[in-house]
A and B are shown apart, each in its own frame.
Chain A
Amino acid sequence: MESLMIVLVGILVTVATYLILSRSVIRVIVGTAILSHAVHLLLLTVGGLKKGSVPLLGQAAAPFTDALPQALILTAIVISFAVTAFLLVLAYRMYLMNGTDDLEELGGSSDE
């Protein structure tokens, strides 16, 4: 299962990268969202899968699955949520001001 998950992560990363290389800001943002899915799965997988029970002391018996990656992922989820939320608002404010969400049209150095 671990190998399969890693491959899945790789595929998600591939898709996300493809999206990130798009011109439309929306696609890029979705790409970053997929990236975070991928990395959360990666973090979970490196901690080992199905190697123990749910890390709740009262409800299951040892061995427990590695709880630390879970805590890390939780933090990462919240942070990535915060960033995505900000990014979305930034994206549409940017669109409203600049009239385009096409990264190619948004090019041009800052010197203008």
Chain B
Amino acid sequence: MIVTLSIVLPFIAAALIPFIYRYFKNIHLGWFVLVVPVVLFSFLATYIPRVANGEVFVKTFEWIPSFGINITTYLDGLSMIFSLLITGVGSLVILYSIFYLSTKESLHHFYCYLLLFMGAMLGVVLSDNLMVLYVFWELTSVSSFLLIAFWHHRKASRAGARKAMTITVSGGVAMLAGFLMLYVASGTFSIREIVANLEVVQSSVYFVPAMCLVLLGAFTKSAQFPFHIWLPDAMEAPTPVSAYLHSATMVKAGIYLVARTTPIFGGHEVWFWAVSGVGLLTLFWGSFNAVKQFDLKALLAYSTISQLGLIMCLFGLGSAALHSGYSTESVIYTQATFAALFHLINHSTFKGALFMMVGIVDHEVGTRDIRRLGGLMSLMPFTFTIAVIGSASMAGLPPFNGFLSKEMFFTATLKITELDLFSLNSIGVLFPIIAWVASIFTFIYCVIIVMRTFFGKIQPDRLEKPPHEAPFGMLISPYILVAFVVGIFIFPNVLGHYILSPAMASIYPMFPSVEDMTPHIAAWHGHINPELIMTAGVIIIGVLLYRVLKKWRPIYQLIPPSFTLNALYERVITSGEDVSGRVTNRYMNGNLTYYFVYIYVFFVALLAGYMIYADAFSWDPSKDSVIEPYELVLVFVMIMAAVAIIFAKQRITVVLLNGVLGYSVAFFFVVFRAPDLALTQLVVESVTTALFLLSFKYLPKLKNEYLPKSWRFAKVTISIAVGATVTLIGLAVMNYDRFEPISKYFEDSYNLAGGQNIVNTILGDFRAFDTMLEVVVLFIAGLGIYTLIKLKAKKGDADVESK
């Protein structure tokens, strides 16, 4: 219940924002907002011990029970990590934002979106029902969109927002499809229930497709290669947002999803390769690209991508443990997962700090371009400290928490090569190699952050403002984070025991012993192990490469700008738009004749096509009534008249010939015993002809229609095809006499309806409703004609609405 409230609280707060904003103009809105995450964090923190004891908190509220969609909140170890991150980092970010954003900004929008996001994010991690999870998932995309576009007067903000929304929502849609497959396979939307009945899901045809689709959702959200391209553009958002959404929380929703669904999919080869492979690739690609960035925030964005790849990769490696079920051997591989969770937290701390640092720099000097920065160390010593600690941790140096998790990462990559599974013993060696290379790049860009910003010469003329240290308030949050960076290094096992272990239990619910899966974290293992050597190598080679950065930087130019993923994305979009536009304009050219051609071609292709395919044609003239000679002559007259219409050059001839046809039809009504029809047809035909004549006063004369030969041929072909189709089906229909007509009933019309004219009793009684509506049709037409003529637009009569 209270867990549920923690989802609802941010939404309620968001709803109250406008009122608070209106009545407390003098106080920074952030102070009110800050209450929410702080309260939630403290409250969640009280649950830590119980969750650590393996308790879970479940509560269900019915939403759409008819379709199995209920709001089930579920707090376990995994949710706990994320909830704490969301509320904890959330508190710090809001605190930071109070100093970062001036009251001139439309804060009520900002905090409203931020609270929406917070609620949505909590919803994602606390929901058990896949559909509800999806609801909140999309809501995070939407609120992220709004936050990125916060300064929507800037074109780049809008573009970034659009890209982020497009990619993440696309992924979300794929994920939805995956969830639905899980539902169809398992019959439930509840993750717990699915996990409880794994065999059903795993044996269904939907298993692998569902897995891939869910991963698509996770990868897009967590900015995994090649979907990462939205994240650098999302840096257009205010820095607190970048720190919060695009580094600490939202992008980790994908990670959460992978962790959450590991019990379902983990252990499958596809899952292993997809998650760890994509993670590894992302790790490398992000770090490699971070080095070339000039904008500090862009650098951090690529760094985030890289780090997310690292975590993802670890989850992939950890899933191998599930392949063969629980055993002492398989437990070893769970350590990768443990490392993932550990790094997840570490990353939030140092990356949050770094983002805030960049925000401070940006805020105080007005630029984030490292080519314009430099020498700020003496002017901004506190900020410098943050940068050094954060970067060092990110680079994987002791005595910071990043060192610990990075070591564990190396361990995991090395371990995995020993596994005799998924052909890992051959190509598995790529894992440690790529991980190591990526770490070198990571090291380099960490050095860049510190050196280029704080060392070297200061260039005051290239800065927007004279640099000075940030106000105290802005430093609080990063310092708290930095404290964690250091604190976790010192007391990693507290975290391991209370936070990480319970989460391990959630990821490996079928593994009985949590203790086995909780390794002892230590900075020094008492001997020099390969991981340590790798780290040393990273530092040495990193420093070397940084020194000669200018020499090898041109390799980034080797990939022409038009070949980057971003360019590819843009090109797909623009050429997609271009092609779509051209295709659409080509066939939707406004020319009615073309439309008719499409319709007729479809008509013929479908009906004649199926007639032939199904061999439905049959013809039996033996049951036909006799043909009298005069009927034959009349048929001949009609055909002549009809054909003559085509060649008629004067409109009056056309109309008169149509009249001939109409009169002939009337005569057929006579011959075929339909007196009422004959009467009506005669009058209607005459009136129609009269109407033609009347309107000819306003219509132009017929022109000779020049037609190219091919077009004329096409017209003739289509016309004959349509006529032939109608005839073919008609003949077959005539030969179909399985049923008695219902009209026998009407032959008792005198007794039933008191009339001797059967047709008239049908019209006036049996089917009087048709007649009534037909009268209405006639009336509408009459009134419509009156309106068209009498109430027409006058020249210069400007319409309110027309443009």
**Taking beta carbons and an 8 Å cutoff, which residues of A are in contact with B?**
1-15, 17-28, 30, 33-34, 37-38, 40-42, 44-47, 49-59, 62, 64-68, 70-71, 73-75, 77-79, 81-86, 88-93, 95-97, 100-104, 106-110
Contacts and interface: CB of A to CB of B under 8 A. Distances in A.
Contacts of B669: 44
A79 to B, nearest CB: 5
Given A1-B624, A14-B719, 20 more contacts: A2-B621, A3-B624, A4-B631, A8-B638, A23-B593, A26-B651, A27-B654, A33-B662, A33-B688, A65-B673, A67-B762, A71-B767, A73-B677, A78-B774, A79-B774, A81-B688, A82-B782, A95-B700, A101-B699, A110-B590
B293 interface: no
Residue from the set A7, A70, A78, A110 with the largest chain B CB neighbour count within 10 Å: A70
Residue from the set B589, B661, B733 with the largest chain A CB neighbour count within 10 Å: B661
A24 B702 contact: yes
A16 to B, nearest CB: 8
Contacts of A59: 756
A20 to B, nearest CB: 6
Contact of B668 (A13, A34, A44, A104): A44
A68 B792 CA distance: 41
Contacts of B730: 6, 9-10, 42, 45-46
B777 A21 contact: no
Contacts of A2: 621, 623-625, 734
B151 interface: no
Nearest to B619: A3
A60 B760 CA distance: 16
Interface of B: 585, 588-593, 596-597, 600, 619, 621, 623-627, 631-632, 635, 638-639, 642-643, 645-646, 651, 654-655, 658, 661-662, 665, 668-669, 671-677, 680-681, 684, 687-688, 691-692, 694-695, 698-700, 702-703, 705, 715-716, 718-720, 722-724, 726-727, 730-731, 733-734, 741-743, 746-747, 749-750, 756-759, 762-763, 767, 770-771, 774, 777-778, 780-782, 784-785, 788-789, 792-793
A99 B742 CA distance: 51
A18 B261 CA distance: 62
A97 B802 CA distance: 15
B601 to A, nearest CB: 11
Contact of B759 (A3, A7, A45, A55): A55
A2 B731 CA distance: 8
Nearest to A80: B684
B727 A55 contact: no
Contacts of B763: 71, 74-75
A1 to B, nearest CB: 5
B654 A49 contact: no
A56 B677 CA distance: 13
Contacts of B694: 88
Contacts of B792: 93
A87 to B, nearest CB: 9
A51 B740 CA distance: 14
A65 to B, nearest CB: 5
Contact of B621 (A3, A14, A73): A3
Contacts of B655: 30
B756 A33 contact: no
Nearest to A63: B747
A82 B759 contact: no
Nearest to B779: A82
A44 to B, nearest CB: 6
A10 B719 CA distance: 10
23 contacts: A2-B621, A3-B621, A15-B645, A21-B596, A21-B597, A24-B703, A40-B665, A42-B730, A47-B741, A50-B672, A57-B750, A67-B743, A67-B746, A70-B674, A70-B759, A70-B762, A82-B780, A86-B781, A91-B695, A93-B792, A96-B698, A106-B591, A108-B589
Given A3-B731, A74-B763, A84-B691, A66 B741 contact: yes
Contacts of A27: 654, 702
A105 B626 CA distance: 49
A85 B654 CA distance: 17
Residue from the set A51, A96, A107 with the largest chain B CB neighbour count within 10 Å: A107
Contacts of A24: 702-703, 705
Contacts of B592: 28, 103, 106-107
The 10 nearest A-B residue pairs measured at CB: A14-B723, A10-B727, A82-B781, A107-B591, A107-B590, A57-B756, A68-B743, A55-B758, A92-B698, A71-B762
Residue from the set B651, B703, B722 with the largest chain A CB neighbour count within 10 Å: B722
Given A21-B597, A75-B771, A106-B592, A10 B723 contact: yes
A34 B658 CA distance: 7
A102 B731 CA distance: 36
A15 B641 CA distance: 10
A3 to B, nearest CB: 5
Contacts of B639: 8, 11
Given A55-B673, A88-B695, A10 B724 contact: yes
A15 B585 contact: no
Contacts of B698: 92-93, 95-96
A1 B632 CA distance: 9
A81 B775 CA distance: 12
A50 B673 contact: yes
Contacts of A106: 590-592
A30 to B, nearest CB: 5
Nearest to B643: A15
Residue from the set B674, B694, B793 with the largest chain A CB neighbour count within 10 Å: B674
A15 B668 contact: no
Nearest to A47: B741
A13 B770 CA distance: 26
Given A26-B654, A109-B590, A9 B727 contact: yes
B723 A13 contact: yes
A77 B591 CA distance: 29
Contacts of B703: 24, 102
A90 B684 contact: no
B583 to A, nearest CB: 13
Contacts of A37: 661-662, 665
B675 A85 contact: no
Contacts of A100: 700
Contacts of B632: 4
B646 A19 contact: yes
Contact of A12 (B624, B638, B770, B793): B638
A66 to B, nearest CB: 5
Contacts of B720: 14
A19 B781 CA distance: 24
A86 B435 CA distance: 76
A100 B591 CA distance: 13
Residue from the set A37, A42, A67, A88 with the largest chain B CB neighbour count within 10 Å: A67
A105 B224 CA distance: 52
Contacts of B700: 95, 100-101
B719 A21 contact: yes
B661 A12 contact: yes
Residue from the set A59, A85, A101 with the largest chain B CB neighbour count within 10 Å: A85
Contacts of A20: 596
Contacts of B716: 18
A11 B705 contact: no
A37 B625 CA distance: 21
A6 B684 contact: no
A68 B674 CA distance: 11
Nearest to B603: A17
A51 B626 CA distance: 11
A78 B585 contact: no
